[in-house]
């Protein structure tokens, strides 16, 4: 790798002049005199601020809690900030500014998206993602801000919701992107562990809106695909972390499995197990923007063995039906026939076909490799039963970059 | 030192080491709670309110949020950490060590300063006690209660100083702080503005914007004091005072924003049409502003005052941001411009600066107030509306000092008594204005909903979702 990208960008602390009441509390609180003011604005000096956050809780307005990703060499100057009447919009960091993706990561993502056929592109209205800001040679340190179990009593698997806080470091992500975690230590052959990839489960403005954090959905791996006992290095490492522990993170990765942002765009989301992570991120992003009423339909097919193994089951059930159309399939409920997501897709065939043919609807599939074929077959059946040619629907889906598959 | 929550009275002043003081305060505490139950927010004793409580004076411990019943709020005694080798930095004792105890010769004056400041704290709780019944949202109701409990804590802060440093006199003064009542004919609060009614939420927002800002400037001046415990106490109070001004500034701003929205929807600036649409027209907001501004700048006292000179020279009370002023900090022989009326004109006159220190603080206050009004004007400008709000002239509607009893229009013309009588209704909120505003007041208790006359806030409290249940009525 040619350069050290983590040094190129920084998170700049700024104050919202529309909300600030100029009470001087932040300036009085700052332990290193990074905050100053004139008769117009209170501003933070990029060259002094170390992002310690001491000024954040005493601020009576919340104006203090604003951050912008900037190129380290050209932050907002004091003079610029003093002239603001409003905060400038957040600018995405251009993808061209990033270094090459590590080969192992590229390999994994290619495998994961193989099911969609030829390489696709992001939806035309997706936000510009940041890529590969941090590399295995130069990872960023995140702090665990939360680690809780998502699975209920009697579940056969331990699925956990981890919250990683990036403190003063810039780590912008979009829904659908993945990050890499580098477990400490070395593997059996004495080499450092390779990077483990996890889908981000929180929206772009943070697990907690406006915070510099993100969430992951991690299933503790205790068996491999063939049922043999095996302790997954990455998942067991992550699941055992406690609040306050530090973890080395690389990425972000993923430039195509991204959500559309144009008004009226709809999402069809099909997932199993921890494949729900990007779906949760997208749904939550849309939920936070619900007041704008500019989103189209949300249709979710979600499969798990048992209700208690379905991550985010509780919060999901609280979402209004007018906001999201939820279809759940359980394959191991005693005395009930096994149901899979593809069964539900067939049952909801009319809606599914209408959305597959809608140029504003984008389809996301995430979960175990095994579901991929089943889902595509279900699509084909839905079309055939209604006298529609699946091949031409599929061609349009691919040509318009509306089908996104990530399976493992 | 962190705050000891095992104590009956949370504190960072090592209360357990002074048993006499601890007993005296523990005796005062139930009287305070009784006062809160009688005169605190009406009908609120059983509500769970999402409040901020300080658990230590460092930034991390500063703002702990959770639902509490207000009578169980952890009122306590917190002083900013002691600064080693702090020196007196103004007045006749410039350069000497600050006082850790009260010098005998300043005892009466310091007691008076502390009692006057302390009296405003319960007074404002009393003034606002009925407002909870007409809160425009759960968010606003919570903010009102946060202000109320923090005014209560400010009372505690002053009572601690009285008990700790003023012996029996101090204890009697502390009792009297719970006995006076805002607006009571026989036993009123000390300062005039604190006996006025706060009848509606526009008045509350104006009060917290203008009158709590007076608190900010008074506390800033006391934070310079040579009496170190007073300086450290008021420094910490200032952090809390900021929330109160935030409620005022954002409150008026949200009222203005809503009015402008409706002006644009109806494409009118006709006050009658806007009133019919259930929002407060900008001229009415301006008349409220004129009233609260003029009443509040009276709180700084007479423009020439020998007391002000004594307080400064003896080191009891400094100026706002004393440290940032590039003069000798003694001020003898210096002058400052004050206003007087000569015939039908206002003229500026040079007065000895020491005697004019009330005016100095008032002018600092005015600059600060004006800046916030410009921010309200930006909301109006953004909405594409051409009207603007402005502060009236400093001499308008004054009751104290050389300008008392003189009739001056908001634009600074000395006017005849007849003109004043004829036009007063254009300049100050009328009983009809107040009746109209009162007619809009009705309690909104549905989560995430706001009354029609006010816009939702830009930011929630502690980043809670916009439909958060800030108050549970039980």
Domain segments of chain A as ranges: 5-82, 96-116+126-253, 266-407
- Residues A315, A318, A321, CA angle at the centre, nearest 5°? 130
Q: Distance (Å, rounded) from C-alpha B76 to C-alpha B157? A: 8
Q: String of b and e for B82-99 (b: at least 16 CB within 10 Å)?
A: eeeeeebbbbebeeeebb
> Residue B324: pLDDT band by 50, 70, 90 thresholds?
confident
> Which CATH superfamily groups domain A96-116+126-253?
Translation factors (2.40.30.10)
Contact B458 A19 (CB under 8 A): yes
B193 Cα distance to chain centroid:
10
**In B, residues 278-307, which contact A (CB 8 Å cutoff)?**
none
Domain count across chain B: 1
Contact A22 B368 (CB under 8 A): yes
Residue pLDDT, tens place only, B287-318: 999 999 999 999 999 999 999 999 999 999 99
Residue A5: the pLDDT is 38
For residue B207, what is the DSSP state? Answer: I
Mean pLDDT of all residues in B3-17: 76
Residue in B with minimal Cα distance to A64: B459
Range of the domain at B227: 15-472
Strand A266-272 and strand A361-367: the pairing is parallel
Per CATH, the number for A266-407 is: 3.40.50.80
Contact B242 A60 (CB under 8 A): yes
Residue pLDDT, tens place only, B434-463: 999 999 999 999 999 999 999 999 888 887
Decide: residue B154, CB within 10 A, 0-12 exposed, 13-18 middle, 19+ buried.
buried
**B156 found inside a domain:** yes
CA torsion angle for A36, A41, A47, A49 (degrees, to 10)?
70
pTM (predicted TM-score)? 0.69
* Nearest in space to A282 (alpha carbons), one of A254, A243, A247, A306: A254
Residue A209: the pLDDT is 81
Q: Which residues contact B137 (CB under 8 A, 6 or more apart)?
A: B444, B449, B450, B451, B454, B456
- CA distances for A213 relative to A148, A218, A271, angstroms: 15, 16, 24
Contact B463 A54 (CB under 8 A): no
Residue B121: the pLDDT is 96
Contact B463 A18 (CB under 8 A): no
**B231 found inside a domain:** yes
Residue B196: the pLDDT is 87
**B225 found inside a domain:** yes
**B6 found inside a domain:** no
**B4 found inside a domain:** no
Chain B: closest CA distance from residue A153 (Å): 29
**B375 found inside a domain:** yes
Q: Is B216 on the interface with A (CB under 8 A)?
A: yes
B contacts of A53 (beta carbons < 8 Å): 59
Q: What is the pLDDT along chain A (408 residues), one digit of tens a residue?
A: 333 334 567 788 999 999 999 988 899 889 899 999 998 899 999 999 988 888 888 888 889 988 888 888 889 999 999 999 999 987 765 554 445 566 667 676 666 666 666 667 889 888 888 888 888 888 899 999 999 887 766 667 788 899 999 988 889 999 999 999 988 888 777 777 888 889 999 999 898 887 899 999 888 887 766 667 777 788 889 989 999 999 999 989 888 899 998 888 999 999 988 889 999 999 999 988 887 777 789 999 998 888 877 777 777 778 888 889 999 998 888 888 888 999 999 999 999 999 999 999 999 999 888 888 899 999 999 999 999 999 889 888 988 889 999 887
- Mean of all residue pLDDT scores within chain B: 93
Q: Is A284 on the interface with B (CB under 8 A)?
A: no
Q: Is B372 on the interface with A (CB under 8 A)?
A: yes
CATH number of the domain that B169 lies in? 1.10.620.20
- CA distances for A9 relative to A96, A142, A213, A250, A398, angstroms: 13, 16, 17, 14, 34
Give the count of beta carbons closer than 10 Å to the beta carbon of residue A398. Answer: 15
**B135 found inside a domain:** yes
Residue A8: the pLDDT is 67
A contacts of B458 (beta carbons < 8 Å): 18-19
3-state secondary structure of A294: coil
Query: Residue B7: is its pLDDT beyond 70?
Result: no
Q: Distance (Å, rounded) from C-alpha A119 to C-alpha A133? A: 23
Rg (CA), chain A: 23
* Nearest in space to B105 (alpha carbons), one of B21, B222, B219, B226: B226
Mutate to test the interface with A, among B83, B370, B375 (most CBs of A within 10 A): B375
Q: Distance (Å, rounded) from C-alpha A329 to C-alpha A289? A: 28
Q: Distance (Å, rounded) from C-alpha A23 to C-alpha B220? A: 11
Nearest CB to B63: which of A19, A57, A61? A57
Per CATH, the number for A5-82 is: 3.30.70.20
3-state secondary structure of A37: strand
**B5 found inside a domain:** no
């Amino acid at each position: 790798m040619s350069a050290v990208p983590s040094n190129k960008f920084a998170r700049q602390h700024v104050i919202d002049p529309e909300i600030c009441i100029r009470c001087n509390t932040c300036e009085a609180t700052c332990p290193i005199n990074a905050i100053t003011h004139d008769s117009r604005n209170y501003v933070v000096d990029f060259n002094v601020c170390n992002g310690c956050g001491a000024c954040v809780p005493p601020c009576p307005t919340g104006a203090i809690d604003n951050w912008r990703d900037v190129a380290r060499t050209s932050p907002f100057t004091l003079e610029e900030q003093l002239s603001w009447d409003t905060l400038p919009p957040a600018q995405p960091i251009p993808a061209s500014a990033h270094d090459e993706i590590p080969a192992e990561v590229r390999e994994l993502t290619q495998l994961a998206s193989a099911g969609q056929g030829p390489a696709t592109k992001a939806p035309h209205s997706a936000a510009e993602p940041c890529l590969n800001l941090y590399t295995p040679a130069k990872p960023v340190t995140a702090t665990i801000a939360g680690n809780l179990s998502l699975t209920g009593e009697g579940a056969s698997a331990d699925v956990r919701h981890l919250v990683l806080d990036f403190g003063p470091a810039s780590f912008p992500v979009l829904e659908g992107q993945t990050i890499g975690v580098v477990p400490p230590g070395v593997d059996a052959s004495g080499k450092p562990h390779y990077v483990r990839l996890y889908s981000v489960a929180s929206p772009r403005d943070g697990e907690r809106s406006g915070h510099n954090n993100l969430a992951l959905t991690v299933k503790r791996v205790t068996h491999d695909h063939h049922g043999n006992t095996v302790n997954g290095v990455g998942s067991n490492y992550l699941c055992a972390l406690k609040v306050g522990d530090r973890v080395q993170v690389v990425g972000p990765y993923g430039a195509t499995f991204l959500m559309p942002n144009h008004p009226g765009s709809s999402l069809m989301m099909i997932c199993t197990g921890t494949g729900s992570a990007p779906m949760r991120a997208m749904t939550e992003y849309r939920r936070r923007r619900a007041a704008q009423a500019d989103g189209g339909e949300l249709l979710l097919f979600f499969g798990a063995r048992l209700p208690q193994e379905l991550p985010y089951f509780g919060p999901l059930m609280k979402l209004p039906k007018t906001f999201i159309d939820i279809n759940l399939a359980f394959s191991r409920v005693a005395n009930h026939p096994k149901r899979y997501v593809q069964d539900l897709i067939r049952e909801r065939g009319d809606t599914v076909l209408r959305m597959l043919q809608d140029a504003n609807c984008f389809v996301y599939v995430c979960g175990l490799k095994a579901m991929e074929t089943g889902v595509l077959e279900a699509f084909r059946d839905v079309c055939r039963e209604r006298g529609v040619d699946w091949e031409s629907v599929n061609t349009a889906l691919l040509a318009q970059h509306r089908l996104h598959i990530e399976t493992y | 030192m962190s705050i000891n929550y095992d104590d009956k009275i949370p504190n960072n002043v090592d209360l357990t080491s002074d048993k006499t003081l601890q007993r005296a305060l523990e005796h005062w505490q139930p009287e305070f709670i009784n006062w809160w139950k009688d005169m605190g927010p009406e009908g609120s004793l059983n509500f769970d309110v999402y409040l901020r409580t300080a658990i230590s004076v460092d930034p991390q411990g500063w703002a702990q949020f959770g639902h509490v019943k207000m009578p169980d709020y952890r009122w306590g005694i917190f002083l900013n950490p002691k600064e080693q080798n702090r020196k007196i930095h103004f007045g006749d004792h410039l350069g000497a060590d600050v006082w850790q105890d009260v010098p005998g010769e300043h005892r009466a004056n310091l007691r008076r300063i502390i009692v006057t400041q302390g009296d405003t704290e319960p007074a404002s709780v009393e003034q606002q006690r009925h407002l909870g019944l007409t809160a425009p949202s759960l968010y606003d109701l919570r903010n009102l209660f946060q202000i109320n409990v923090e005014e209560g804590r400010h009372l505690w802060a002053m009572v601690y100083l009285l008990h700790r440093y003023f012996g029996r006199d101090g204890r009697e003064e502390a009792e009297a702080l719970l006995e006076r009542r805002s607006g009571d004919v026989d036993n009123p609060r000390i300062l005039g503005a604190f006996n006025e009614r706060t009848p509606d939420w526009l008045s509350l927002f104006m009060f917290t914007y203008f009158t709590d800002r007076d608190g900010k400037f008074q506390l800033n001046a006391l934070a310079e004091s040579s009496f170190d415990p007073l300086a450290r106490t008021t420094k910490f109070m200032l952090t809390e005072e900021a929330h109160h001004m935030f409620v005022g500034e954002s409150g008026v701003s949200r009222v203005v924003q809503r009015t402008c929205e409706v002006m644009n929807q109806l494409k009118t600036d006709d006050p009658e049409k806007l009133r019919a649409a259930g929002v407060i027209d900008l001229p009415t907001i301006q008349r409220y502003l004129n009233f609260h501004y003029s009443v509040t700048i009276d709180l700084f006292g007479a423009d020439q005052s020998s007391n002000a000179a004594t307080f400064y020279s003896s080191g009891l009370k400094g100026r706002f941001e004393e440290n940032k002023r590039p003069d000798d900090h003694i001020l003898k022989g210096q002058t400052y411009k004050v206003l007087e009326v000569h015939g039908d004109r206002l003229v500026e006159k040079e007065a000895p600066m020491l005697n004019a220190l009330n005016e100095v603080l008032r002018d600092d206050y005015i600059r600060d107030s004006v800046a916030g009004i410009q921010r309200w004007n930006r909301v109006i400008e953004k909405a594409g509306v051409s009207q603007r709000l402005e502060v009236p002239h400093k001499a308008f509607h004054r009751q104290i000092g050389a300008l008392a009893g003189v009739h001056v229009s908001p634009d600074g013309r000395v006017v005849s008594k007849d003109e004043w009588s004829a036009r007063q209704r254009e300049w100050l909120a009328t009983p009809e204005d107040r009746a109209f505003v009162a007619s809009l007041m009705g309690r909104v208790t549905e989560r995430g909903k706001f009354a029609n006359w006010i816009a939702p806030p830009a930011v929630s409290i502690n980043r809670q979702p916009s439909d958060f249940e800030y108050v549970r009525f039980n």
